[in-house]
Structure 1
């Protein structure tokens, strides 16, 4: 395995070096012109998109991994386009978040499977994710799958808010902050850009980007891009091979006083499950060992080979939207209609007898044949549609932003059992859930004096949820529930301009999210369960002194109504119920820094100190390190761009069955190299505009640490991070 890993590394380095010696070209900075004029800039909307297209990356985005909005009345960081270009095209775009203070990005297998993100101790189900303004968190459990919606090569930038920050941010959950990601705009110049790459663990990608350039100039100026990509890996290190197909489209058309944007994203993926190993197995077989549970034992203790390979996840999802935005006089407006569809299942098997709701509507018990299994598909089918409407208009000295978000979500959770010959037998549960979300907001901004900006606003969250447990109803048990939740959430902030280079801010914002749909089936249903709620306080300062720009913030989140599993006495029996039994405190300091040394070298240094704990149960938050550090150097010289980054996270914990197991501190280093060539041999003959070769090296020093645990708290299995790995990419623009 070591020899094979080195061979892949050598081949990637040699192929990249050969490319460095053969081709040259660089794309000039381009403006999208008519299509992205004032009608579609949205500069006056809160959290507006960065104006970056497929043909350009601003110089300032290359020199800095982050930009601070020094005029904001809250903490706001733009993670720049240049940082996304330095990721491998197979990585989830959320990898850039590991540079942020008090943030952890954990890949339980490979980043192409998606990342688990933790900010200030809060998991991704308590972080608000959006794409081009559309809230993406699942409406049933508020989780988010980071690899499904947009690849890193198509990201224009991410606006990062490490707290609730503002009433003008739509979504269901922002305790740990908001991660607002924006797709690239089409370039006005036509090109075709094939992209291929290969690297460690049998991983490769084949795809490309087509940009139409500006057409229909005389009556409806339009530009569009189309992206397709296939990623595959054998996953021999973790026994989790995967296949992912991506297809995305975006167009922008100037119509009247505004611009119409059409967008479509599709992700189709299948991957096997990764299991882990016990400490004893690692001691016996080495750090690269992972047990693989494809063959559960039969009652006689022998391996059941009928189960081999039936241990995977397959999912298809797409997101589409149509957005029209523009301005009439001093009024800016935007309306965005979207639709999401997801359909997939996880596959497993069982050697046990199951009680099932049959297709005829009756309850039956089914056992596998002797030395056989029952196959299981845990299906999740989701239809979601909604609309985002916004308007900004001045009323005297006050700038007013009004918005309304509506979302309808219809999800079926179905645990289907099949015979060994794939005949459908019945379902152990079948639960349709319908959730409607209504969220109007208003936000005011005023400057009473030249150096002081004040903001104030609120949003009202109203949620209705209908839940049906068809298996319980067939057994004459309670199975139909309907609940409504409502919350008023205020936000106020101030920004003081102390001098030209120094600003200070303060902010208070409340945030909430309703209980997940599991409130209906966990033990005894609790009709009194209320939404979780938190108050976020932050003060900070930004300064910009020549080559040094910096942002320093202190924050505190007071969490109330935290939902915990609680044991209560019902009659003479103990029952498990979800209850608003928890309080928590998440507080700390974050410090972010950029230093532009000259036109060639720049650097960054981000630090975080965190105290995150469930005060009601005297327990730490999982993945909440006491401190984090991220240091990096960026170099650019003509067509060359190179980065090296060092990351350190302090001690944190993992919750396995209620027991907090230590993860220990972790240190790792990554590096990337990217070169765009000019005047390449055969370049004119082949029609090259430019060719870019890139190399990504992750975990340079082969540091090994525990990512998570599985199994039981009495016999935990360790899931380790990937060893040193490499990925090389070539992209040519015609």
Structure 2
């Protein structure tokens, strides 16, 4: 009885801390529980014979802005253990992401959400924002793998005042780590598949340890390698993840999380349309040492870590949560060029073990407090982050004095301070109105001994500030049906190099947005259904292009407007079968790279007693443009390339066996087939250009498979 009570207490403490964090984190755990008295079900997402359990994505009954929850069940059965969060999130409405080298095989951050690109949306891990402070982008293969992911919540909007981050106006992808198992277990697992892809790992769960204060935790190590879909684009990765939870008292718990990762890769920066047409969609790196795309000249090593300690407690009517964290990233790079067919003198590179370094470390703290006042909640908190950044690049030239890399040597540091307060007013149990305000201060100190824009030394210090109000309303029409509306301001400071320089530094304006959104969510055992409409006004949209000297030039494009509608649904047919679909229509007043005008998905899913699972899911990506900013050798603009829609179909099946061996608990065998119909062709811009100004692209990864096997004892 004592053990059962303590387990229940532990769960309540952790969920209570999540509730204190923000409403967006609460949503991650609202997977469809409805009142048994509603007459519409009463089953939770743990029931395999229900729409909430089988749904690939679903809305939340407590959502105050458009949101899709991707459960751990979907992640475990539809992604490989090496998949990144971009591979997981791509199923969500308005989201498009394709790894050009196969799932987990590259650091490609090309996820688009409502026409917003990486650097324009927020990514958090267990409520902690993490990004490269230079441009707020994310290094997707350097941190968390799906093997350790509990769920992913795709928030399509700036959130309320409690939503923290440097680039929240485009939305937030919230990654949550999985929790330790209740029982002790030792679980080895292996995977093998196309492109000589292999992964092997082992996870140890302590279970709930009564003799150690009812602590629990797990440690997971995995090693991944692949030759890659693209020729000679190899990748190797080692990742260690651990999580421990310990109750300190009846009302307090402490959580420790740590991650260490090392990735080595040879990765091409794309190919021109003519090169792909001539040499095929797998055209990547070269074996010729006189070629700038020689595999030996294009090597990258990434090392990273992420740690935090979380203390959460309930004291009377107060819920308090504090996370003290640090994370780091280091990229040792040798990347010789942007043209696979360009020649370069081998002696220019053979003696240079490294031509670039980027590294940073952040230290920060996230504090949140909630006070229950009758039916209402007063919430306030503070996020502080300090990131120290260092980068340098040596100059490498090709014949004709075309820059392959541009000299740079800089030290910088960024300081973010975001206090917030909001009041969730509940005049009735069905209605919640939440006004709030957040203050955003971002300071960058830049010190360069060599700046490519200035052509020499450059120093500056600049602070950008914004006051960001939000107002949302949420109403339960029934226990399983809610509606919401939101108006919120968004803000993002300019990237590190986004200034103009003549005799002095002239900064471009930060991006500020006003978001209007409304939607509804229905949830029962038979049906999960959600839909929304949105309108976004960006008063200072930032665009960039690469000039004929290889420099990226930023400018304010003026006012940009985005609007659209989104919907997703899962219907449980019966006998273990359900059907799934989502559809979005997205419009933008300015052209954006790799931003489809629509997305859609349809699927058939089967699940039986958590033993058998199968899914056949197709996703269609609408028309889009790629190659913006391209210029020829004379500096003349090259028109963007229009790309038509395409559809990719994936098949996944998992079979679980209890006590297959006398010594085993559960054994799982999984088969995954991606791009079942073997669609090929160019599908996305790589974001760069060759020495003649032609845009570089990636093609669709051909049909590939993966077999996974795991057993626990």
- Answer yes or no: is 1:530 the counterpart of 2:509: yes
Query: Which runs of no fewer than 5 residues in structure 2 stay unpaired?
Result: 31-43, 339-344, 398-404, 631-638
The CA distance in 1 between the partners of 2:553 and 2:267, in whole Å, is: 30
Per the alignment, residue 554 of structure 1 pairs with 533
1:451 corresponds to which of 430, 433, 440: 430
Deviation at 1:649, TM superposition (A): 1.2
Deviation at 1:142, TM superposition (A): 0.5
Per the alignment, residue 102 of structure 2 pairs with 110
Shift of the 51–208 alpha-carbon distance from structure 1 to 2, 3 Å rule, reads farther
Per the alignment, residue 585 of structure 2 pairs with 609
Deviation at 1:250, TM superposition (A): 0.5
Deviation at 1:30, TM superposition (A): 13
Question: In structure 1, the residue corresponding to 2:195 is in which secondary structure?
Answer: coil
Per the alignment, residue 304 of structure 2 pairs with 317
Per the alignment, residue 437 of structure 1 pairs with 416
1:387 corresponds to which of 365, 375, 384: 365
- Answer yes or no: is 1:667 the counterpart of 2:650: no
The CA distance in 1 between the partners of 2:88 and 2:5, in whole Å, is: 25
Per the alignment, residue 75 of structure 1 pairs with 66
The CA distance in 2 between the partners of 1:103 and 1:308, in whole Å, is: 32
The CA distance in 2 between the partners of 1:527 and 1:635, in whole Å, is: 58
Shift of the 564–96 alpha-carbon distance from structure 1 to 2, 3 Å rule, reads closer
Deviation at 1:653, TM superposition (A): 1.1
Deviations 1:172-228 (A, max 9, x none): 11222111111011122100000101000011001111101122x256221110000
Deviations 1:341-360 (A, max 9, x none): 22222203489xxxxxxxxx
The CA distance in 2 between the partners of 1:149 and 1:94, in whole Å, is: 12
Deviation at 1:416, TM superposition (A): 4.4
- Answer yes or no: is 1:241 the counterpart of 2:234: yes
Shift of the 525–554 alpha-carbon distance from structure 1 to 2, 3 Å rule, reads farther
| Pairing 1:50-65 to 2, within 5 Å after superposition | 50=28, 58-59=46-47, 62-65=53-56
- Answer yes or no: is 1:150 the counterpart of 2:144: yes
The CA distance in 2 between the partners of 1:451 and 1:519, in whole Å, is: 47
Question: In structure 2, the residue corresponding to 1:549 is in which secondary structure?
Answer: strand
Deviation at 1:334, TM superposition (A): 0.3
| Pairing 1:351-362 to 2, within 5 Å after superposition | none
1:270 corresponds to which of 254, 264, 272: 264
The CA distance in 2 between the partners of 1:32 and 1:100, in whole Å, is: 33
Shift of the 524–645 alpha-carbon distance from structure 1 to 2, 3 Å rule, reads farther
Shift of the 399–321 alpha-carbon distance from structure 1 to 2, 3 Å rule, reads same
- Answer yes or no: is 1:636 the counterpart of 2:612: no
- Answer yes or no: is 1:187 the counterpart of 2:165: no
Q: Quick check: 1:275–1:293 contact (8 Å CA) kept in 2?
A: no
| Pairing 1:609-628 to 2, within 5 Å after superposition | 609-614=585-590, 620-628=591-599
The CA distance in 2 between the partners of 1:124 and 1:382, in whole Å, is: 18
Q: Quick check: 1:122–1:175 contact (8 Å CA) kept in 2?
A: no
Deviation at 1:58, TM superposition (A): 3.1
Shift of the 566–295 alpha-carbon distance from structure 1 to 2, 3 Å rule, reads closer
Deviation at 1:460, TM superposition (A): 0.5
Question: In structure 2, the residue corresponding to 1:83 is in which secondary structure?
Answer: helix
The CA distance in 2 between the partners of 1:30 and 1:648, in whole Å, is: 48
Per the alignment, residue 473 of structure 2 pairs with 494
The CA distance in 1 between the partners of 2:392 and 2:380, in whole Å, is: 39
Q: Quick check: 2:616–2:651 contact (8 Å CA) kept in 1?
A: yes
Query: Which runs of no fewer than 5 residues in structure 1 stay unpaired?
Result: 1-28, 298-302, 352-366, 420-425, 568-574, 615-619
Instruction: Find the structure with the greater CA-based Rg.
Output: 1
The CA distance in 2 between the partners of 1:637 and 1:131, in whole Å, is: 32
Shift of the 427–711 alpha-carbon distance from structure 1 to 2, 3 Å rule, reads closer
1:341 corresponds to which of 307, 328, 332: 328
Per the alignment, residue 406 of structure 1 pairs with 384
Q: Quick check: 1:322–1:337 contact (8 Å CA) kept in 2?
A: yes
The CA distance in 2 between the partners of 1:350 and 1:544, in whole Å, is: 52
How high is the TM-score relative to the length of structure 2?
0.86
Q: Quick check: 1:201–1:237 contact (8 Å CA) kept in 2?
A: no
| Pairing 1:302-313 to 2, within 5 Å after superposition | 309-313=296-300
Cα root mean square deviation, aligned:
3.2
The CA distance in 1 between the partners of 2:202 and 2:525, in whole Å, is: 40
Shift of the 323–102 alpha-carbon distance from structure 1 to 2, 3 Å rule, reads same
Indicate the larger mover: 388-397 or 60-69: 60-69
Q: Quick check: 2:672–2:707 contact (8 Å CA) kept in 1?
A: yes
The CA distance in 1 between the partners of 2:653 and 2:445, in whole Å, is: 52
The CA distance in 2 between the partners of 1:59 and 1:624, in whole Å, is: 37
Shift of the 169–221 alpha-carbon distance from structure 1 to 2, 3 Å rule, reads same
Shift of the 90–523 alpha-carbon distance from structure 1 to 2, 3 Å rule, reads farther
Per the alignment, residue 677 of structure 1 pairs with 657
Question: In structure 2, the residue corresponding to 1:240 is in which secondary structure?
Answer: coil
Deviation at 1:368, TM superposition (A): 8.8
Q: Quick check: 2:292–2:336 contact (8 Å CA) kept in 1?
A: no
Deviation at 1:261, TM superposition (A): 0.5
- Answer yes or no: is 1:730 the counterpart of 2:709: yes
Q: Quick check: 1:204–1:231 contact (8 Å CA) kept in 2?
A: yes
How high is the TM-score relative to the length of structure 1?
0.83
